[in-house]
Amino acid sequence: MISFFTSIKDYFSLVKFSHTVFAMPFALIGFSLAVFREENNFNIKLLLLIILCMIFARNAAMGFNRLVDNRFDALNPRTKSREIPSGVIGLRAAATFVVINALLFIITTVFINRLTLFLSPVALLIILGYSLTKRITSLCHFILGLGLSLAPIGAYISVTGTFSIIPLIYSLIVLTWVSGFDIIYALQDDEFDRSNLLHSLPSATGRKKALVISIIVHLLTFILVLAAGIMGSNGYLFWIGASIFTLLLIYQHRIVKHDDLSRVTMAFGTTNGIASILFAIFIILDLVI
């Protein structure tokens, strides 16, 4: 029994399950927009199916990322202790984990609606394909952002079966927000990436310029947040959440410097996780009240 739970813990660590706080709150925003703004019936079963889709898709994506990056992770001092290069989880077991989660994701969409099912292979292609883009382009951060940006629009489609401009704006918020903070995260590996012919903005432009690009991308995030609030005719609770979200964006840029990466983890994980959760709470309250 202890061995079983230890194994589960290893897989949770493999996919960094705690990082679901980045996209999951935005999926809940998409769901809430469809239910409370478009006046669809609240369906707890559908909500659980959406959450399961998020979990299965992310497990497949992260597992695939760790699988295909195994060779590089084993060489990088920062990542060599990860589950696959350290031998805690074998290659075959990791591959099986990815396939099972990808299949569970598609199967779950069967119980949502036809459009979600038809789009599920496209979603998998994007979120799995990201893991290979670092080999060919320094714009890989934006592919990651694109993958996570499917959360709000995907949840909205799951309820309504249609597209709409407001959830699409939230998807663009996620795209720019995630891309910006992934550039910050990649600062840690700029030298390793250059020496191993891997692509990222920090390795291509240097740390200083990469941080400037990250700021510009997050400025676009701020503009999109304003657009979501104005076009959605949101109330004061939205603007409180938007203000907190924006202040936390600014904070992460103040604590990370090109010559001091000691607080990258705080900026990447803690700050953005809190920003996502609080933003979602205030938006959903604004929609409900």
More confident residue, 31 or 267: 31
| Mean pLDDT (whole number) for 226-230 | 97
Domain count, the chain: 1
pLDDT tens-digit map of 137-187: 999 999 999 999 999 999 999 999 999 999 999 999 999 999 999 999 999
Inform me whether the pLDDT recorded for 2 exceeds 80.
no
The CATH number of whichever domain residue 10 belongs to comes to 1.10.357.140
**46-67 average pLDDT score:** 96
Q: Give yes or no for a contact between 23 and 54, defined as CB atoms under 8 angstroms apart.
A: yes
Range of the domain at 21: 2-288
Say what the pLDDT of residue 149 is.
Answer: 97
Across the range 78-82, mean pLDDT stands at 93
